[in-house]
A and B are shown apart, each in its own frame.
Chain A
Amino acid sequence: MSGLLAIRGAEVRFGAVAALRGLDLEVGAGEVVGLLGHNGAGKTTTMKLALGLLRPQAGSVRLLGVEPAGPEGRRARARVGFLPENVSFYDSLSGREVLRYLARLKGRPPAEADRLLEQVGLAHAADRRVRTWSKGMRQRLGLAQALLGRPALLLLDEPTVGLDPMATAELYATIGRLRSEGVGVVLCSHVLAGIERHIDRCVIVGHGRVLAAGTLEELRARARLPVRIRARGRWREPPAAALGEGEGVVARRLNGHQIELEVAPERKLAVLRALAAEPGVEDLDVRPPGLETLYAHFDAMLHRGPQDGRGEAP
């Protein structure tokens, strides 16, 4: 099945508050989609919608081909793993008891729970009560329960919160392995730094709607934000070519032997060539706009008005 999750034009209101205003999200097999946005942007509401815990007032939701809030939704959920934000468990139970309990709710044998505890590196603490566990360990238990029953689709809401860098790297390694097995993943996060290497596509949400969606390259192309180029070298006066301002280039001197240029994407190659030809230049460093910059850009476009709300540059 290619379309694991398809949300189209979903609108969700809580009383007078519009949580989602026409949200679209599609996830296919073997695809990691980042659902990115500030707190309150509608990410968790989208997760609930996908799981059938909410019905949209308008639009449609299909989870593994069925309506998740309908009678068939229950069977679809058997093939979905969900890690809620700030996951919590029964503190008086041990990790093994928690996971075996959840395994039974998913119709899986207890041996699978034990195997997953090993897989997420919790086997050594499995028989201690969850109350005594660290936040990172609970988060890993949360990941383990999401993996019960070999899900076709994983919905992970802020999975890296509370994880140390090592555990974060392990989490992304696990996600990468699952992707190669054909599992579709939705990765919700408000922490944008560092996530771009691990996702195939981003859907940037804000105020209940999609601000921009696509691969990082597509978003960059659409935003047409300047590329930052740093040049280091030995010169008395900065190279003339580098300071050829105007025509989409803004230069700034960082210190005696470093300058930074903000270059329009279409001027990037020309400026790089010119810099490379300068005798004093020893090193060049090119930094395309990161997700945080892109997010700020698309968010600002929304506030500027609906006419450029689609993220197209003027």
Chain B
Amino acid sequence: MRGALAAIAVKELRDGLRNRWALSIALGLAVLALVIAWFGPAASGKVGFASLGATVVSLASLAVFLVPLVALLLGYEAVVGEAERGTLLLLLAYPISRGLLLAGKFAGHALLLAAAITVGLGGAALVLAATGAAAAEGFWPAFARLVTSTVLLGWAFLALAYAISAGAREKGRAAALALVSWLGLVLVYDLVLLGALVAAAGRLPAWLFATLLVANPADAFRVLNLTGEAAAEALGGLGGVAREAALAPPLLVAVLLAWTAALLGLAFRRFARRPV
């Protein structure tokens, strides 16, 4: 059984490496990260690596837009794609359970995504370090935190993609639903939340605000990366509010993991009930 799980994971991993998916994502992420790190301070009249805090905030803002989209695109085909290709019927005739098939595929995709993020952001960090930025205190730990939280963010959205894929009848519908989720969770949710905050004029209780923040993995990620000492200086707004809401990093990490587990659980349930 374990052999089959590994075989499925390795196949997905190899597919992603072979069609250069992982490579393009890693490269794209690295280039964008460098551009942002370099030109981010341009508004203040200079280019080049400014402060560690500002850089981490810029990169986190990049990650929160890009990584959910990448994860959704990676995973939305996971089940419905196999079903449309006709390979799902074949695989389910094998002596493996549906749970094992889904777990193997997710493991492979999760590793692939983690590798692309680590190589992409890690590569950017290496380039920045070569220009002397690593001299800043806490440079490497800050990047390690950024990479780890970005991977967790990616996994949560990968699990969402699986939940969509396991319940979708057609690939096109799954793709549309994935895009709508991305728009909703990454762009619209924040706008609405900030709008509500302003409209409530401070009368929104802190616990409610905190709950609304962790009710969206993208926001949990934002808060995780925007509440550090260095980040707060670079960004007022959300960061400050979140700190007031007393959302500690371990809690936010737990929230991201919980989102992954819950969405993956939903994917398993929908897959178990899916007619072949």
User: Do these two chains really belong together in a complex?
Assistant: yes
Interface presence of A107 (CB below 8 A) = yes
Interface presence of A235 (CB below 8 A) = no
Interface presence of A77 (CB below 8 A) = yes
Say yes or no: A92 contacts B94, CB within 8 Å. no
Interface presence of A82 (CB below 8 A) = yes
Instruction: Report the separation of the CA atoms of residues A86 and B8 in the bound assembly, to the nearest whole angstrom.
Output: 23
Contact of B92 among A53, A80, A101, A104 (CB under 8 A): A53
Instruction: Report the separation of the CA atoms of residues A6 and B89 in the bound assembly, to the nearest whole angstrom.
Output: 21
Interface residues on A, range: 20 to 34
Helix, strand, loop or mixed for chain B's interface? helix
CB distance from B59 to the nearest CB of A (A): 33
Among B86, B92, B95, B275, max chain A CB count under 10 A is at B95
Interface presence of B44 (CB below 8 A) = no
Contact of A92 among B3, B4, B7, B15 (CB under 8 A): B15
Say yes or no: B93 contacts A75, CB within 8 Å. no
Nearest opposing residue in chain B for A146, CB measure: B93
Interface presence of A225 (CB below 8 A) = no
Say yes or no: A84 contacts B86, CB within 8 Å. yes
Say yes or no: A53 contacts B89, CB within 8 Å. yes
Nearest opposing residue in chain A for B91, CB measure: A105
Interface presence of B87 (CB below 8 A) = yes
Nearest opposing residue in chain B for A101, CB measure: B11
Within 8 A of B (CB), among A78-94: 78, 80, 82, 84, 86-90, 92-93
Interface presence of B85 (CB below 8 A) = yes
Nearest opposing residue in chain B for A102, CB measure: B94
Within 8 A of A (CB), among B115-157: none
Say yes or no: B93 contacts A53, CB within 8 Å. yes
Interface presence of B201 (CB below 8 A) = no
Say yes or no: A92 contacts B19, CB within 8 Å. yes
Known: A101-B11, A105-B8. A90 touches B87 (CB 8 A): yes
Say yes or no: B4 contacts A105, CB within 8 Å. yes
Known: A104-B4, A104-B7. A75 touches B95 (CB 8 A): yes
A-side contacts of B4, CB under 8 Å: 104-105, 107
B-side contacts of A78, CB under 8 Å: 95
Interface presence of A74 (CB below 8 A) = yes
Say yes or no: A74 contacts B96, CB within 8 Å. yes
Within 8 A of A (CB), among B257-276: 275-276
Contact of A77 among B8, B86, B95, B276 (CB under 8 A): B95
Interface presence of B90 (CB below 8 A) = yes
Contact of A48 among B11, B91, B95, B276 (CB under 8 A): B276
Known: A48-B276, A106-B94. A101 touches B7 (CB 8 A): yes
Instruction: Report the separation of the CA atoms of residues A48 and B88 in the bound assembly, to the nearest whole angstrom.
Output: 12
Say yes or no: B15 contacts A77, CB within 8 Å. no
**Mask for B3-18, Cβ within 8 A of A = 1, else 0?**
1100110010001001
Say yes or no: A88 contacts B87, CB within 8 Å. yes
**Mask for B56-95, Cβ within 8 A of A = 1, else 0?**
0000000000000000000000000000011101111111
Instruction: Report the separation of the CA atoms of residues A135 and B91 in the bound assembly, to the nearest whole angstrom.
Output: 20
B-side contacts of A75, CB under 8 Å: 95
B-side contacts of A152, CB under 8 Å: none
Nearest opposing residue in chain B for A79, CB measure: B95
Say yes or no: B3 contacts A107, CB within 8 Å. yes
Say yes or no: A84 contacts B8, CB within 8 Å. no
Instruction: Report the separation of the CA atoms of residues A107 and B89 in the bound assembly, to the nearest whole angstrom.
Output: 18
Say yes or no: B95 contacts A107, CB within 8 Å. yes
Say yes or no: B11 contacts A77, CB within 8 Å. no
Say yes or no: B8 contacts A88, CB within 8 Å. no
Contact of B90 among A14, A48, A84, A93 (CB under 8 A): A84
Interface presence of B97 (CB below 8 A) = yes
Interface presence of A51 (CB below 8 A) = yes
CB distance from A91 to the nearest CB of B (A): 9
Say yes or no: B7 contacts A105, CB within 8 Å. yes
CB distance from B159 to the nearest CB of A (A): 23
Instruction: Report the separation of the CA atoms of residues A104 and B15 in the bound assembly, to the nearest whole angstrom.
Output: 17
CB distance from B3 to the nearest CB of A (A): 6
Contact of B93 among A84, A90, A92, A107 (CB under 8 A): A84
Contact of A87 among B18, B86, B275 (CB under 8 A): B86
B-side contacts of A82, CB under 8 Å: 90, 93
Known A90-B85, A105-B91; 8 more pairs at CB < 8 Å: A14-B275, A48-B89, A74-B95, A77-B95, A93-B11, A105-B4, A107-B95, A145-B90
Residues of A at the B interface (CB closer than 8 Å) are 14, 48, 51, 53-54, 74-75, 77-78, 80, 82, 84, 86-90, 92-93, 101-102, 104-107, 145
A–B pairs, 8, beta carbons within 8 Å: A51-B93, A53-B89, A90-B11, A90-B87, A93-B11, A104-B7, A105-B7, A105-B91
Can you list the 10 inter-chain pairs with the closest CB atoms, starting with the nearest? A104-B7, A78-B95, A82-B93, A88-B86, A77-B95, A105-B94, A53-B276, A74-B95, A51-B93, A105-B4
